[in-house]
Structure formats: structure tokens, C-alpha cells
A and B are shown apart, each in its own frame.
Chain A
Amino acid sequence: MSVGTPIDRIEGRLKVTGAADYASDRILDGMLYGVPVGSTIAAGRVLRVDATDALAVPGVVAVYDHTNIGTLHSHGSSSLKTGIVDEHRAPLSGDDVQYYGQYVALVVAQTLEAATEGAAFVHVTYAPGAVHNAPITTDEGERKVGSHRGNPDKAFAASAITVDQTYRTPVETHNPIELHATVAAWEGDSVTLYETSQAVVNHQRVLAQMLGVSLDKVRVFTHYLGSGFGGKLWPWAQSPLAAAAARRLGQPVKIVVTREQMFMNVGHRPQTVQRVRISADADGRLTSLQHDSTNHTNMLDDYDENCSEATTYFYSVPNLRVTSGLAKRNVGSPTSMRGPGAVPGLFATESALDELAVALNMDPLALRLRNVPQRDEGLDIPFTSCHVGECYELGAKKFGWQQRTAAVGSMQRDGMILGWGMAGCSWIADRLDCEVRVELNPDSARVFCATQDIGTGTYTMLAQIASDALGIPVGHISVSIGDSSLPPGPMSGGSMATASVIPPTIAACKDALHKRKSASAEETVVGYGRSDGTFGGEPKKSSHSFGAHFIEVTWQPEIARLRVRRVVTVIDGGRIINPKTARNQIEGAIVFGVGMALFEETRYDPRTAAPLNRNFADYVVASNADHPSMDVTFLDYPDYDLNPLGARGVGEIGLAGIAAAITSAVHHATGVRVRDLPVSIEDLLAP
């Protein structure tokens, strides 16, 4: 059995030797380089784009703006079938400017250097408009009721013990180490796109529409991805721009987005403001929960963060209402960032629970255990498999939680004050449509699917699944993914890829083995498998992953230094296909969470709405020295309702709850309750 064993990545050698071909590594004959020019206003109109000086730079071959790029179609409504995109409008499709950095021109040249220099010599004249950039509020936008049960207002009013607080999370920018990139090459009326995509099939659908060609004329490759965190789920403007320029010039065009542009043109987690009202009886049983959230979105699209993703089912509570609204601002489009919705949402609700525990004078762990749900009360259906109570109990045991003394600042070690905090977490578990082809040779096999490996281990996992299904060692299985011409597979998003590929891979292997019986021994036989998704449907059972985090921080008031030292995490994520790649996901998410809790915030100038800290010196993420010691456990209970191996996904759940667990520990150490992330030195210095 290979499934369940911690084998190394099968493509690991290619990656550490530099042989893995990432999109921006691609160099084609006659290839030109595109550098987009970003707007230096956040709202208004482009009056004139003067390309004279740019065209005079040796090596520059063309400068495009909204008057001469040709026809690019804006994308219609997003759906899994028609393709999803967050910034619907095609680049350079009008003279209006809606956010700082919006592409207003594209310089194409024979070298990257010439294109970069040319871009500096494009002179754009603007008519600036009023900038909408004010902080967002909880009652903003048309309020949408997401879920409602009982009478939360009445229950809240009747409760002696209540918490009513507002929490804020800032704009966070994905910043995978690999920059977004596109290399577009036309042959006749067909285009090949080498992309940084978490969803090659979706990318093909969207680009076909934007370019006005049929689906079979677009082929998208993403062999390897230097991570995406959701920022590469949907196409961004550099992709249609590169394709449009390549079509006009009859030569391949490469565009690699710069690190600065990563902060403006390829999405971000929107800022959120969330009011949570929660009440309990004297024993700590929840009597009501209300969660009202708003997130910002750009002027032209309606990106909904869905902060209440987990609120409706994660707690047993008879009276509940969640509402949401959108606040239009002059920013680039937000997009999914690792754990969209649940991650900011659980920061708010789990923080409120921590505050409720203080109000009740009750241990926060005991409060969680008292309110563990037995079924999905939001949809009023049973869970497929839920072991959140065990996550809490095992995590507490491994952490040594029973040693905790409740009073603020009461625990010390090595002259430092300790803070201990905890929080729960949850994330969706679903499947997407998926088809798989398996070619079976006498003693080897190849698996084909138009999904992709975004660094999470999809290559390896597919080989492991096929290895077990075929009875062939993993070393004899090769995997072809990251090519939209293969049998359509799932996006790598929502932690759904693993669960989605399992049923059709097993089916295709069985089909191949069956065909093998009636074929000669030397012949290659081909098996097919497909399965329909569960995502977006009306489920009879509720399938989710769960977990718990326990955190230790140290606090040195004499130098205002706060550090996260120790994290114990227990995850109920179904059957684990590969404990090594799975642990890698959770540990990475914990470090991500340290950044979210303590450092990360994209700051905008209040006047110009320009993102200010758009570089790695000023946008602070956790450094290696900020990594805590991490102890990760998987409960490994299979969820057979989801697929025959009982696997869910673990890419996102590890991030949910971390920030709340850290602010819980910060409160325990310092007495300061931080409701507005990130926790800053100035918060802790405040008297």
C-alpha cells in the first residue's frame, strides 16, 4: 500500500535540480517581452497615452493601449461551467481607471530590459476622479441574510452573558514566491498559453471567451507552480494581454508580473469588518450567535468573501443569523486567498468565543467542548464524519493545556511571560467533476488528468492512488497533468483536488485492469474514469474538515517583544494520502497564520489609494526565524461518504483559526485584546 505512506514527491528531483519548467522559464523562438504600464491614479480617465518616446527606445516593437489593442471580450457571468474570473473586465477595454496600478498600456520589446525601459517612457495623461477609499463598516452595502434560525435578537436580549464586538482583518496579499506569468504563442488561429494557473481547464474556458475563439483553439499548460494560495485560481489581465499582443504581432509574447504588480493586479484578500454578537447561559451553552460581515470589493465586480462560511455549522446554537454586504472601493479585484471566508470569519467568531469564555470565567477549551455540534444545524443534516471534540481533547493533552492558569500574565518561563491560547477550525470538503485516463503497460502506467500540482503534492498523490489501484510500484507510475487538453480535471482550490481525483483515478485503473484481461500481455491498454462533483449541489450530508490549534506566545514587556513559540495542531481531515505532503501543508499554513496574526497588512495611501508597502521589505511576512516549533497530528478517520479512500483536502484548514488562537494567547499574556489584525507593537504598548 502506498496510500497513507509518507513518500517523497515524485517530481522533487526535478524541482531541486532546476529542471522543472515553470511558466516564466519558457523561452520560445522569436519570443517578445511585454511589460504592462500601471495607472498612477486610482480613479478617473485616461486622456492620452503618448507612446512616442517609448517607441524610440531601441528594441521596442509596439505599445498598446485601449485605442489599439483590438477586441478583447470582457467575461460574462462566472460559473464552474462557463469559467470563473474575479476581474471580469478585459484589460485595456476602456479609458476609465478603477484602481491604482490598473494596466493602461502594454509595451512589447525584443528584450525584457527594452520593454521595461520603454514602459518608463510611456507618458499617460489622466483626468483624475474622486477616490473611494474610506474604511468599510458593518452595515455597508445591501445586506444579504446568509442563514437564519430561531430568534437570535430575542435570545441575545434575554441573556445575562453576552459579547458584542467588531473585528477587522486587513487586506493581505498572496505573494507566492513565483510571480504570475504568461507566455502566449499562436499557431494559425490556435493559441498555446504557458501559465501560472491553479486551474488550467478554467483558464482555457475564460481565455477562449476573452479572445473570442472556440475552446479547442486554446491550450493551457501549467506543469509546475511556485505556489498560488488562491491568487492563481482565476486568470488575471496579463494573460489576455499577452495573448492579444502575440496575436497582433504574430510572435510569442511573455509577460511576467512584477512583485509590485502582485500587490495591485492579481487579487488580494479583501479587508473585512465583522460584528459578532454571541450569548450563552451560565453553563456556557450558546443561546445565540449573530455574525454581520462586510468586505470590500472593486468598483466593477462583486467579490463576496463569505465570512460566515463556517459560522452556521461550527457551533451548536439554536438561534443564529448571518448577514453580509459588499463595500465598493477603488481597489483591484479581491480574490480567494487560502481559506477564503472561513479564515477571516473564524478569526472573528473564535475570538468572540474567547471573549465569551472570559466573560463566563470559563476555560476556553471547556467552552468549545460544551458547544461541539452533533449535526450541521445550518443545513439541518448530519455530518459525514466530525471529530472536532477529539481534536480539542487530543490537542489539549499534547499541549499540556491543563497546566494553564487563567489569570492574565500569570505564567512565566525563562523570565518571559507566557500566553496560552486556543481556537478551533473548519473547512469545506467537497468534490469537483473529474475525468482521468490511465494507460497501462505491462509493468508501468501513466495517469492523465487536466488538474495541476500547485506545490501541494498532486503528482505524488495521483501516483500513490494509481499504484495501489493497479498493484504497480509508485516508481513505475508516471503522471501527466497541467495541460488543458487532457481529460478535464478539477481546479486546485477549495482543498478539493485530492478528493476529486480519487474516484475517477480508481475507476480508470479498474477499467484498465479489466481491459488488460482481454488484451495481449505486451499491449498498452487504456482505462477511463469519471465522477461528478458534489460542490454547489444540495447535500444530504454535510462534509467538512475540522481541527484545533493550541498556541504558546512569549511576551517580554521590557522590550515589547512578542513571539509565537509553540503550536500544537490536530486535524480531522479524513484519510491522509501522504502524511509528508499533508504535514507540509499544515505547517506551511501555521506559518502563514503567524504572518496573518502578527505582520501582514497591505496598506493603502489614504489619499491616492495606492498600495504603499508593495515590496518584500515593507510587506512583512514571517521569516524563518519567526517559525514556532510545530506539532501536527492527523486523526486520520476516513470519510467514505466523500470518496472510496475517505480522503478530504488539507491545503487550507490549517490556516483557519490560527489568528484567533494567537490573539487568545496574546490576551492571556498581556491582557490586550486585539480585534483588528495584525497584532502590532503599538497595540501591546498601549497602556
Chain B
Amino acid sequence: MTRVADVDEALHARQAAPAQYVAGGTTLIDLMRQDVERPERVIAINRLALRTIDAAAGGGLVLGALATNSEVAHHPRVRSEYRVLSEAILSGATTQIRNMATTAGNLLQRTRCIYFRDPHAACNKREPGSGCPAITGFNRNLAVLGTSDHCIATNPSDQNVALTALEATIEVRSAAGSRTIPIDKFYLLPADTPQRETSLQPGELIVAVTLPPMSGWRSHYLKLRDRQSYEFALASAAVAVQLDGSTIAGVRIALGGVGTIPWRAPAAEAALRGKTASRDAFREAAEIALRDARPQSDNGFKIELAKRCLTQALLEVTA
């Protein structure tokens, strides 16, 4: 384990030899203990000056990569202008975990698929080509959207669903320079390479997440699960709307718990734009959002659950 003091040092250390960054460690250390992740070296980036939340030029907000989930969720501007993000983060994990977890680490948290987390089981994501026991085994918590014959694992994050609805961008640095990745280009569908989850290149360091200005928007996150707290979503919805009276002028929808990636629903958004807010309109949009869903043996109920979740989230945000 190497500790580094600034971004350049981190990039140098990473260039010198294969290694994995560790921030809060709530994903990576767990998986190392379970023998699922086996990095040769880890680079601890906690001391980098990225634990910041600043105003962005043009009115948005820049979340430093190391801003903790708690700091983001309780930030006054997040609570007022980006409520969906605050609600999403607070619906996840526990206070203790959110105090450790970071914005960038959360972007890269791994699936909760039971077979992925058991090194004795086959799994295409962990060991490409070994097979997918979830498709023929236990898959209640896995995806119905964006699946392939190689992998049906869910992206489990709440934060990332909100960031998708907010059209956040991800700022990364590498030895080659900097680039900005829009969140809808960040996550990759499993297709036949489920081991590749994002468009991040080896060695690239996330330095920040930028939230665009959202004045005139209201937003909201609704998460459904078996118990009341401390559980990943079976279905969730991040919604943002611009209302003109009761007419929907703008709308963004992302679904969680049902997709292999945080799932944006553009067709449902298009169907709502210009419509009057009503339960029927929302239910119709929900039908569209789940139109392409593919149930597995144990998770067919998620399709109806996600529809109800989205309908209710839209009702609540427009109420």
C-alpha cells in the first residue's frame, strides 16, 4: 500500500506499476477480504486535496472525488438544489459507511450479485468466460434492463442513479492529461464483456463530479426494498421536473435497482414532455420506461415494482 500526497504523485505511482486506488475502502477492502478483488498494490488517495465541494463556474456544483457521501448529502446546496442526490445518498448504506464512502468510490462500487462475491462460484464478471450461475440460479436482486446472456448484474448504487438524472459529468486525470466524461457515457452495458464496467481507462483518476445548474427544477428520489433501511434497492427512481403550471416542461428520469447500469429512460421522458401531470400520464411513462424489461426466474416482480416506484416518484415530485 502506497500513500500519496497529491494528484501527480498518485498518477506517478500508478504509472510505475499496476495498482488500484483506494478511497473510503468500503467497497474495495470488503472485496479484497473476500478474495474477489486481488490488486497487487493499492494506492491510498485519502490525503489528496479532493475533499471539497465548490461552486462551479456557470452555477453548478463541483463535488471533489473525496467528498464523502455524508458531506455531499448534507451540503446546503445539495439539499436545496439537488435534492434527488441528497435523498439518494441518505437512502443508502448506514451513517458509518456514508461517513467513509466517497463520491468517486461510490461511482465505482461493484455489483451485489451473490455469485460475483463468492470466489468459489463461476462468474463472467470476475473470471471472464467462466459462466453466469445467476441466470440459472438465484437472481432476485439482479437486473431486468440492459442484461445480456453473459451477465445480469445490477449496478447497486443510489448516488449514481441520481447523478444520471442530474446529467452529471465526471472529471478524470491521467498521465496523458484530463478529460470529462458525461455520466451517460461512463457506464458500459455488460454485453459479452461484463468485466468492463466503465469507460475509465486503466490508471485514470477521478478528481471530481460536476453537477450542472438545476435552477427551475425540482427533484426527488424514491427507493423500494424489503426492509425500511440498510438495504440495496429492489427498485428506485430518480426524477427531476420543470413544471409550467401543471404542464411538464422538462423531465429527467433514471431508474435504479433494475438496470445493469444506472438506467436513464429517455423514451419515457419524451412521452411526458408537454403533458399535464397526472397519475395516468405517469403510469403510461412508467410502462414505456420498462417496455424492454426482461425478467429472470426470480425477479419478474421488479418490473411492476419499478413501474409503481416511478409513478409514485413523479406524483410526489409534482405534488
**A and B are interacting partners:** yes
27 A–B contacts from the bound complex (CB under 8 Å): A558-B311, A558-B312, A559-B224, A560-B304, A560-B308, A561-B224, A563-B228, A599-B226, A605-B133, A605-B137, A610-B118, A610-B121, A612-B137, A617-B112, A617-B232, A618-B112, A618-B114, A622-B227, A623-B228, A623-B229, A623-B230, A624-B229, A625-B227, A680-B226, A681-B224, A682-B300, A685-B304
Q: Are A620 and B312 in contact (CB under 8 A)?
A: no
A605 and B222 CA atoms in complex are apart in Å by 31
**A681 and B35: CB pair below 8 A?**
no
Cα distance, A58 to B227, chains bound together (Å): 44
Complex Cα distance, B301 from A613, in Å, reads 20
Determine how close the nearest CB of chain A comes to the CB of B305; give it in whole angstroms. 6
| Top 9 closest pairs, chain A to chain B, by CB | A625-B228, A682-B301, A625-B229, A40-B120, A612-B114, A626-B228, A623-B229, A623-B230, A685-B301
Is A560 a contact of B231 with CB atoms below 8 Å?
no
Contact with A along B228-239 (1 / 0, CB 8 A): 111110100000
Check A560 against B224 for contact (C-beta < 8 Å). Answer: yes
- How far apart sit A632 and B228, CA to CA, in the bound complex (Å)? 23
- Taking chain A's interface residues, is the majority helix, strand, or loop, or is none over half, making it mixed? loop
A120: Cβ under 8 A from any B Cβ: yes
- Check A598 for interface membership: any CB of B closer than 8 A: yes
* Complex CA–CA separation, A663 to B189 (angstroms): 40
Asked if B186 is at the interface of the complex by the 8 Å CB criterion, the answer is no
In the complex, are the beta carbons of A681 and B226 less than 8 A apart?
yes
Among A40, A120, A607, A685, residue most surrounded by chain B Cβ atoms (within 10 Å): A685
Complex: chain B residue closest to A683, CB-CB: B301
**Interface size range on B against A:** 20 to 34
Per-residue contact bits, chain A 595-616, to B (CB 8 Å; 1 contact, 0 not): 0001100010111101011000
Residues of B close to A626: CB separation below 8 A: 227-229
Cβ of A620 and Cβ of B226 under 8 Å apart? Answer: yes
* Residues on B with beta carbons closer than 8 Å to the beta carbon of A607: 133, 136-137
Chain B residue contacts of A681, Cβ below 8 A: 224, 226, 234, 301, 305
Closest to B304 in A: A685
Q: Find chain A residues with CB under 8 A from B141 CB.
A: 618
Determine whether the beta carbon of A559 is less than 8 Å from that of B312. Answer: yes
Determine the chain A residues whose CB is within 8 A of the CB of B217 once the complex forms: none
Measured CB to CB, the closest approach of chain A to B86, in angstroms, equals 18
CA distance A183 to B224 in the complex (A): 44
**Main SS class of interface, B:** loop
A606 touches B112 (CB 8 A): no
Indicate with 1 or 0, residue by residue over A561-575, a CB within 8 angstroms of chain B CB atoms.
101000000000000
Distance in Å from the Cβ of A22 to the closest Cβ of chain B?
Answer: 22
Indicate if the CB atoms of A620 and B133 lie closer than 8 Å.
no
Residues of B within 8 A of A605 (CB): 133, 137-138
Chain A residues at the B interface, C-beta cutoff of 8 Å: 40, 120, 558-561, 563, 598-599, 603, 605-608, 610, 612-613, 617-618, 620, 622-626, 680-682, 685
B309 at the interface (CB under 8 A from A): yes
Known: A559-B224, A617-B112, A680-B226; 20 extra A-B contacts, CB below 8 A, are A120-B35, A559-B312, A560-B304, A599-B226, A603-B138, A605-B138, A607-B137, A610-B121, A612-B114, A612-B137, A613-B114, A617-B232, A620-B231, A623-B229, A623-B231, A681-B224, A681-B226, A681-B305, A682-B301, A685-B301
Q: Chain B nearest CB: distance from A62 CB in Å? A: 22
Closest to B136 in A: A607
CA distance A359 to B226 in the complex (A): 31
B residues in contact with A623, CB < 8 Å: 227-231
Q: Which residue of chain B has its CB nearest to the CB of A561?
A: B224
Contacts of B133 in A (CB 8 A): 605, 607
Note all chain B residues with C-beta closer than 8 A to A624: 229
A1 and B151 CA atoms in complex are apart in Å by 67
Q: For residue A622, which residues in chain B have a CB less than 8 angstroms away from its CB?
A: 227
Of the candidates B138, B234, B311, the one having the most CB atoms from chain A within 10 angstroms of its own CB is: B138
Distance in Å from the Cβ of B141 to the closest Cβ of chain A?
A: 8
Interface pair A559/B309, CB less than 8 Å apart? yes
A629 to chain B, nearest CB (A): 14
Q: Hey, which chain A residues are within 8 Å of B228, CB to CB?
A: 563, 623, 625-626
Could you tell me the distance between the alpha carbons of A498 and B308 in the complex, rounded to whole angstroms? 51
Contact between A599 and B301, CB atoms less than 8 A apart: no
Q: Which residues of B contact A120 (CB under 8 A)?
A: 35
B304 to chain A, nearest CB (A): 5
- Shortest Cβ gap from A131 to chain B (Å): 13
Q: Decide: A620 and B309 in contact? CB cutoff 8 A.
A: no
CB distance from B235 to the nearest CB of A (A): 9
In whole Å, how far is B33's beta carbon from the nearest beta carbon of chain A?
9
Alpha-carbon distance between A567 and B248 when the two chains are bound, in angstroms: 43
Expressed in whole angstroms, the Cα–Cα distance for A85 and B112 within the complex equals 36
The reply to whether A559 and B301 form a contact with Cβ atoms under 8 Å apart is no
Which parts of B210-230 form the interface with A (CB within 8 Å)? 222, 224, 226-230
A residues near B138, Cβ cutoff 8 Å: 603, 605, 612
Q: Which residues of B contact A560 (CB under 8 A)?
A: 224, 304-305, 308
Measured in the bound complex, the distance between the Cα atoms of B225 and A598 in whole Å is: 12
Q: Which of B227, B308, B311, B312 contacts A599 (CB 8 A)?
A: B227
Verify A558–B227 contact, CB threshold 8 A. no
Query: Is B222 a contact partner of A559 (Cβ separation < 8 A)?
Result: yes
Closest to B298 in A: A682
Roughly how many angstroms separate A563 CA and B222 CA in the complex, as a whole number? Answer: 17
A608 to B224, CA, bound (A): 31
User: How far is it, in angstroms, between the C-alpha of A40 and the C-alpha of B229 when the chains are bound?
Assistant: 33
